[in-house]
Amino acid sequence: MPELEITIRSVGSVAVVEPRGFVNAHTVSGFERALSERVDAGNVRIVISGAHLSYVASAGFGAIMGLIEDVRGRGGDIRICALSGPVAHIFRVLGFDRLCRTFEREEDAVESFRGS
């Protein structure tokens, strides 16, 4: 099994990106590519589900930061949901909870795009 597998699906107008495994220096390029491809295709409403993330290194957070300004400039946003304990802790320590809206459940993250 590879260190990182990424599933992408659409829920209405929202692209749900679900990485499974580890986002680190070895796998970040695939993670960044998956996000960039969504944006390049015009999908600027993105939910990243952390339900199956085991670990995210600073490079993974950097990939999100690198895209969020572009996404917001196009009228969209990146929302995060279902982070596990250790990943949620890193997310808060790095201050990403002030950069991205976070949700416990994927359904709530997707629903948050209604009316925007």
Mean pLDDT of the chain: 93
**Tens digits of residue pLDDT in 63-100:** 999 999 999 999 999 999 999 888 999 888 888 889 99
The total number of structural domains in the chain stands at 1
pLDDT tens-place string over residues 7-25: 999 999 999 999 999 999 9
Residue 116: inside a domain, yes or no?
Answer: no
Alpha carbons 77 and 57: distance in angstroms, whole number: 22
Whether the CB-CB separation of 21 and 2 falls below 8 Å is answered with yes
Tell whether 59 is covered by a domain.
Answer: yes
The answer to pTM > 0.75 is yes
Q: How far apart are CA 9 and CA 83, in angstroms?
A: 18
pLDDT of residue 2 exceeding 80: no
Determine the structural domain holding residue 48 and report its residue range.
4-111
Q: Is 14 part of a structural domain of the chain?
A: yes
The enclosing domain of 45 has a CATH number of: 3.30.750.24
Looking at residue 23, what is its pLDDT?
A: 94
